[in-house]
Structures are given as structure tokens and as C-alpha cells.
Amino acid sequence: MSHHQATGGRIITLPFLVLSLLALAAIWILGERFFYGLGAVTNLNDGFPWGIWVVYDVVVGTGLACGGYVLALTVYIANKGRYHPLVRPALLASLFGYSLGGIGALVDMGRYWNFYQMFNPGQQNYNSVMLEVGLCVSAYSVVLMIEFLPVVLEKFKAVKWQRKLEKVLFVFIAIGVLLPSMHQSSLGSLLIAMGHKVTPLWQSLHLMPFLALVTAMLLGFSIVIFEGSMVAVGLRRPSESHILTGLTKGVIGLLIVYLVVRFGDLIMRGALGHAFSGDLRGNMFLVETLLFVVPLVILLQKQWRQRGPYLLVAAVSIILAGALYRFNAFLIGFEPGGGFVYFPSVKEILVSVGMVAIEIVGYLLIVKTFPVLPKAHGHADSAHA
């Protein structure tokens, strides 16, 4: 009946052990953070209130977790059923990405015990972009859990509950498309209020939400392609590149829209000259742009985009491009003045690495024990469902 199956296989493997060790290191450091304060483990300072825990774990991390979002949009809204086999693994990755993004935000919060005030209508400030992001990300994490619930019910053969859930699931699918559209664009809007502290190459004011949303979609599509390739290689499953290639049409369109709007904005604001100033920021902008252009060149060649390795290179390049755009806008292009500088401490980096390790360990654990991945044999036949 189901088109999915648990892959099975040994759970305790060498990668599993290494990743678990990294996860434990992160948890240990977080213990230090809660006992001695943020300053004990981070390089945050009075000029740089947000470090990689916010920028990587939340801003980039939730962008990388947009696979579930773009596939829901493709499969259920645009009704491209042949991508259906990709939905469950993408949802699982999104679930981990968002949950850990939420945890990342919480451990970075200086007064986390007051977190509930965000849900207190008497205190909510509807002018605050942060409020929208906080509420929306929390709500979406719950929606992702519900969207993933059919997998759990299938595993435990709760057929009755599965049927019931399936009848109302479209509501959560719709909300699951709406919420990321809202908060992913708001992640860009967060920067508007920072004004001149975000240097001209990245301060696009009114266009910030649009650019953030387009990069979120690009990150989502690319991570689906990337994960598909990794699963094929890592878990020794048949290549899915024939399905993945189809996604590139959307990616090409998004890349073109992004580059046109981005450069149009820079030229109109007269900020493009900063790109060639030869300093760190100018060079980072050039690297960022190159990472957006290279995949466009690859994907525009029909004979290249149909080959797995080229497709993977393009996907990785977009992932790096989207991540670097967000890093640049929030950190590298952030200039608070007053001589403040920020570079993450080893402990900060270890926590972020540990978060990724938890994601991978959890992903492996669940695809081995729950019916997440499409059935290995004859999955091309069931792809129309």
C-alpha cells in the first residue's frame, strides 16, 4: 500500500558515533553557557549582539530547512505529483532544521525564561519583525510535526487515525506553505531597522523581504537536490537525478529573478561600486555573486543539468550562495561602528557543528526505522502518485 519504506540497516555506525560525539560536545558547551552566561562561550560583544548562533542556526539553518516548504508548494499547490517521493525526506529534514533553529534561538536568548512573553497578547508588539518571526517559526515547527505525523502513524499501522488525518491534512499543508512565505521573508525584513549598520551592498530596505524569500526558495530546492544525491550515495540507493532534474526549471527562474532584482537594486542605489573596492566586503560580494551565477550557467545547459554530478555541483553552489548572502547581510556586511569586530569562538562554532551533527544523526536514525524514503525497487512506477 505504501510507497515508502524504512531502509533498515545498522544504526550504530562509525559516522553515527563521530556525529554523536560532536553532538555531546555541543551539549557540554551549552551547559557552560547556561551556568556562566553567553560571554563565557561566545565572542558576542556590545557591537555584535548576534553571532553565528543566530545567523547560522536560525537565519541560514531555517533557510536550509525550506525543502519541505518548496516541495509542498510544488507537489500540492502546483500539483506536480511526480515529485511526491521527495516530500517525506524533505519534510523530515525541514522538521530537524526548524526544531534546531528554534533551539538555537532559545539558547541564544539572553533572558530565555521570559520567552513565553512572545505569546502574551498584552506584551506583543505588532510593529516588531522579530515577533512575527518568533511566532511564525514556532507555529511552523508544530505544522511540520503534523505534516510528518502520517509517517509515524504508518509505522505503527494506526490505519484509522491515518485516514482521519489524511482528510484534514490539506489544511496543514496550506498553512505549511503560508507560514514559511511569511517568516522567511521577515528574516530579511529584520535587517531594515538596522539601517546604516548594514552596509550598502546588503541594505536593500524595501526589497529585503523579497530577496530573503527568493533565497529561501532557492535554498529549499537545492537542499532537496543535495539530500537526494547524498541519500543515493550514502545509503546506496538508486539515483533520483531523473526526478531531481525536473526541479531545475524552477531553480533557473528563481536564479534569474534574484540576480535581476539584486543587481537592479544595487545599480539604482548606486551601491554597486562597493563591490570592486577590493576590501573584504567587496570581495565577499563577488564570491557570493559568483556562487549564484555558476549554477545558472550549469543549469542552462541541457546536457549538463541532466547529469547527476553537474546537478549536484549546481545545488551545492546555490546552497553556498544563499548561505553566504545571509552571512554577508547579517555579519560580514554588518558595521556597527566604534571599532567593534566579531569572529566566532571555537566553542560557538562547535555548538553550531553539533547542531548539524544532531540533525544528521536524527535523519539517519529515522530514515532507517520509519517509512520516509521511497521504495527502492520500481519507485519510478509509483512516482506518478
Partner 1 sequence: MNRRDFLKVAGSGALIASSSGTAEARGNLEPPPEAVGMLYDSTLCIGCKACVVKCKDVNDMPAVTDEHNPQWDQATELSADTLNIIKAYTDGSAETKNAETDGFAFIKRNCMHCVDAGCVSVCPVQAMKKDPKTGIVSHDPDVCIGCRYCVAACPYNIPKYEYDDAFGQIQKCQLCNQKGVERIDNGQLPGCVEVCPTGANIFGTRDELLAEAKRRVAMKPGEENTFPLGTVGSPHGHVAPAADYQPHVFGEHEGGGTQVMVVSGVPHTELGLPDLPDRSYAAVSETVQHSIYSNMLAPAGLLAGLLYFARRNTQEEGQDKDKEEQS
Kindly state whether residue 114 participates in binding partner 1, applying the rule CB under 8 A: yes
Site for partner 1 in 84-103 (CB under 8 A): 84
Site for partner 1 in 339-368 (CB under 8 A): 340
Amino acid at 360: I
Among 89, 101, 104, 209, binds partner 1 (CB under 8 A): 209
Which CB atom, from 8 or from 337, has the smaller least distance to partner 1? 337
Nearest to 75 by CA among 169, 191, 205, 179: 169
Nearest to 66 by CA among 218, 203, 290, 252: 218
Which x/- pattern over 161-190 shows residues binding partner 1 (rule: CB under 8 A)?
Answer: -----x--xxx-xxx-xx--xx--xx--xx
Distance CA(282)–CA(275), nearest Å, equals 4
Distance CA(366)–CA(311), nearest Å, equals 26
Among 160, 206, 302, 377, binds partner 1 (CB under 8 A): 206
Nearest to 370 by CA among 141, 149, 159, 168: 149
Site for partner 1 in 241-300 (CB under 8 A): none
Kindly state whether residue 36 participates in binding partner 1, applying the rule CB under 8 A: yes
Q: How far is the CB of 309 from partner 1 (least distance, A)?
A: 30
Q: How far is the CB of 4 from partner 1 (least distance, A)?
A: 13
Question: What are the residue ranges of helices labelled H in the chain?
Answer: 14-36, 38-41, 52, 61-64, 67-72, 87-108, 129-155, 159-189, 208-234, 241-246, 248-268, 280-300, 302-305, 308-327, 346-369
Among 164, 196, 236, 242, binds partner 1 (CB under 8 A): 196
Kindly state whether residue 139 participates in binding partner 1, applying the rule CB under 8 A: no
- Answer whether 318's CB lies under 8 Å from 219's CB: yes
In this chain, which stretch among 18-26, 131-139, 316-324, 365-373 interacts with partner 1, using CB under 8 A? 131-139
**How many chain residues interact with partner 1 (CB under 8 A)?**
74
